[in-house]
Amino acid sequence: WPSVHSGSSDSIRSSESSPDTGVYKVMLLGDSGVGKSTLAGIFGGVEDTFPHGSEHPEDTYERNLLVDGEKTTLIVYDIWEEAGSQSWMQDSCLQMGDAFLLIFSVTDRSTFQRLPSLLLQLRTARPHRHIPIILVGNKGDLVRSREVNMEEGRSLAGMLNCKYTEISAALHHNTHELLEGVVRQIRLRKDEGEH
C-alpha cells in the first residue's frame, strides 16, 4: 500500500524517494467529492476509471515532467480517502508527501470550511518541515453553483500562509500549470535549504 500506477512514464518505481533524486511525492488531500481522483486521473492520462480492487488500488500516478528545462518525476497519491478516519493511516499520508494539495470544491462551502482543520492536522504532523502547500479550488467551471468565490479562497490561503489556485479538473483548466507550480515550489524550498 499503495501501488504505483505509471502514467506517461515508462518506468514503474517503488514508492521510495527523496527530494534529492528529483522524484517528488504530491499528496492530494480533501473531502470526498471535491475532485481528487479526477485530477489524479488527468495527471496519469487515465480516461476510464479502474475498478478499485482492494489489493491493488490504482490510486498512485507517476509521470516525468520537464519543468524549466529540468527533468522531474512526480508521483501523485490519491490515497487520502483510503485512510478513512484511521489516524495512523492519515499520518502516514502526511509523513509521505513532499508537497500537498488541499483540494476543495468551489461549489461546496463545507469542503472549504474543512481546510483550516486539515491544514492544522498537516502542520502538526510535519511541524519542522517547510513543505509546499497549495489550496486548490476545483470545479471552477460550475459558475452557477459556485458557493465560494476566488477572493475568499485567496484570503484564506493568505491567512494560512499557503498558495492558492483555482482549477477545473473536468475541463483540464489550469491543471497542468498547477503541477508545474508544485514542482517549482518544491525546488524553491529545496534551494532555500529548508529540507
Q: Considering only 7-15, 68-76, 89-97, 134-142, which stretch makes contact with ligand GDP by CB under 6 A?
A: 134-142
| Least separation in angstroms between CB 72 and ligand GDP | 24
Q: Considering only 35-43, 142-150, 155-163, 170-178, which stretch makes contact with Mg ion by CB under 5 A?
A: 35-43
CA separation for the pair 130, 66 (Å, rounded): 24
DSSP three-state, residue 91: helix
Pattern 159-178, binding to ligand GDP, x per CB under 6 A? ---------xxx--------
DSSP three-state, residue 77: strand
Burial of 119 by CB count in 10 Å (0-12 exposed, 13-18 middle, 19+ buried)? buried
Residue identified by cell 486539515 is: 118
**Angstrom distances, CA of residue 92 to CA of 80, 125, 126, 127, 133:** 10, 9, 11, 14, 17
Q: Which of 24, 37, 140, 156 binds Mg ion (CB under 5 A)?
A: 37
CA separation for the pair 119, 3 (Å, rounded): 26
144 binds ligand GDP (CB under 6 A): no
19 binds ligand GDP (CB under 6 A): no
106 binds ligand GDP (CB under 6 A): no
Nearest CA to 93 among 55, 116, 59? 59
Pattern 22-41, binding to ligand GDP, x per CB under 6 A? ----------xxxxxxx---
| Least separation in angstroms between CB 4 and Mg ion | 17
Torsion sign (Cα): 61, 81, 14, 16: positive
Of residues 25 and 36, the one with the C-beta less far from Mg ion = 36
Residues lying near ligand GDP in the complex (CB under 6 A):
32-38, 138-139, 141-142, 168-170
Residues lying near Mg ion in the complex (CB under 5 A):
36-37
